[in-house]
Amino acid sequence: MTPPTKEDLKKELDSFFPSGTALPPNASFSEAAVPTAIDTSSDEEDDDTTVSTASSSSSSVIFTSSNKKPELVWREERGKSVLVQKFFKPKSTKKLLKRPIKMEEVAKHNKRTDAWVVIESRCYDITSYVDNHPGGWLPLENMAGKDCTDAFANYHPASVYRTILPSYYIGDVVDTLDDEPFTREHREIRQELLRRGLFETNEYYYYLKISWLVAAFAASLYLTLYPDSKTVHYFGAAMMAVFWQQLAFVGHDVGHNAISHEKAKDTTIGLMLGNSFGGISLGWWKHSHNVHHIVCNSVEHDPDIQHMPIFAVTDEIFDTDALRKAGTYDEEHKGFWTTYHQKWISPDVVSTFLVSYQHLLFYPVMAVARFNLYVQGWIFAFTAWKQDSWYAKRFQKIEFASLFVFLSWMTALVSTLPSEERLNWLLISHGLAGLLHVQICISHFTMDTYHGHAYNDISDEWFTMQCVTTMNVDCPRWLDWFHGGLQFQIEHHLFPRLPRHNLREARALVKPFCDKWKVRYHEPSFLECNVELVEGLRDVAAKCRKGGLGAVGGFENTQIYEGLQAEG
């Protein structure tokens, strides 16, 4: 079928609007975004939407049955760009407050047991939904009392605005940032990406990736099993490291539902491939990573920068004056409460010593960090019901099975080697795979950190915070395979469901915007990133050594002492 022209689309749209009315500016069309019809109905929700259809491969126009002209906006549904009605009214008005709401009032409802959020100047009381959230309750608790317009748009498909949000709507908010020029302009970047159909996954890109993974895994098995040579066996270990690094990039993509854009399908793919062949729990990773993206580089809330007692990415982790100023320091526990790990973090003799030399320990620790992730995965598998009941109900059995598959084949493979080679094979494969952990750490370790929660006003709204807490890696296109999308961490944090192969196009829009509005956009080379990271760790280590051990209260206040006494 011949794709429709702009004129065909306008005629199609005219049938939905009164004669003589004009489309809103955000409903403009480009040749790269010719709409098409797709099924946007949820597996769990009835679809009461009328769909305007045209034949193409990337976009769709959706309206509700109404005589009133709806306000339209581009959103994403299963990787397709859809032009949809912006706001859907609730079927019942019983919950409506029937008065203007201000952000000051919203901010008071900032708990798991009392959670309001703002989306596109509409307020929703989601308290009863928090524990049923597919992404876990922690992201919602961290966004409670905030304007989460951008976070919501970037983590949810279009259908959620229609099938879930309306029943929680309680009124309009009159003092959001929606009309700020900065806000309007950066949101237009997402609209343009959608108009171009860039959220659609190129399946052939992943066919090539899977082929490459199969080749790397097969090469590792062959070199490890068949040649009667220690050197060749160790080359097999090196190939396994390459396989794990590249597999993790695909796992990262499915973890963000950026391949099929369907949560159940991408999660199943991730479990079957990532868990079974990589040994790292997708459930554990998603549980942690969902929170990280929402509160990136928050001292108290982001698990990705909470690595005590070994690493402290900022001196404010143990700076009592800074913690007191932020209002998060507890005199009794001599530290702060981490909402992710649900425990107190405070410097003791052991952590003070390790952090004092963290710049020297960083690369050796990265070489064995993968073993810790195996442990974390099994812990999550056993405690999933407590940490994320929605996930556990659907995937806990697959978690166990897939992790057991990895443990089985890895044990069998290593056992075929001569006994004197086994430990070396494990250290080589895991040590070289540690490069992945370095690539992850450089994205955030040296960037801005902050206390508490962001998204309070124009100075720390969504777009700005993703940029100042994240860095890119400057590299040529031919090296994109090596970095696996992590070289575009700024764009990824801004648009996490955008397929990896389109992040470079997003960069072409984001970087000029940052230049125009004087927003920090940091993009050093890979070598420069590592230099910055080591220097940053060294500076924090120096401050830790300068503080001495007297400030942490001696051995009886240490985590080791508490462990020996069965405390804590």
Lowest mean pLDDT among 36-40, 233-237, 390-394, 481-485: 36-40
DSSP 295: S
Give the residue from 267, 360, 344 showing the smallest Cα distance to 310: 360
CA-CA distances (angstroms) from residue 521 to 198, 224, 512, 530? 22, 44, 10, 17
DSSP 191-249: HHHHHTTTTS--HHHHHHHHHHHHHHHHHHHHHHHSS--HHHHHHHHHHHHHHHHHHHH
The one-letter code for the residue type at 166 is P
Give the pLDDT of residue 393.
84
Q: Which percentage of the chain shows pLDDT scores above 90? A: 74
Q: At CB < 8 A and 24+ separation, what contacts does 477-484 make?
A: 477/504, 480/504, 481/246, 483/439, 483/526, 484/245, 484/246, 484/248, 484/249, 484/252, 484/439
Q: What is the pLDDT of residue 173?
A: 97
Check: CB of residue 255 under 8 Å from CB of residue 289: yes
pLDDT of residue 68: 64
What pTM was computed for the model?
Answer: 0.85
- Residue 361: CB atoms within 10 A of its CB come to 16
Q: Mean pLDDT lowest for which of 113-117, 488-492, 556-560?
A: 556-560
Residue 560 has pLDDT above 80, yes or no: no
Can you tell me the distance from the alpha carbon of 470 to that of 410, in angstroms, rounded to the nearest whole number? 35
Q: What's the distance, CA 339 to chain centroid?
A: 17
Q: Are 358 and 540 in contact (CB under 8 A)?
A: yes
Give me the sign of the Cα torsion angle 156, 161, 162, 164: positive
Q: How far apart are CA 353 and CA 363, in angstroms?
A: 17
Choice among 21-25, 136-140, 227-231, 271-275 with the minimum mean pLDDT: 21-25
Enter the tokens of residue 543. 């401050």
The confidence score (pLDDT) of residue 564 equals: 37
What confidence tens digit (pLDDT) does each residue in 119-167 have? 999 999 999 999 999 988 999 999 999 999 999 999 999 999 999 999 9
**Percent of all residues in the chain with a pLDDT value above 70, rounded to a whole number:** 84
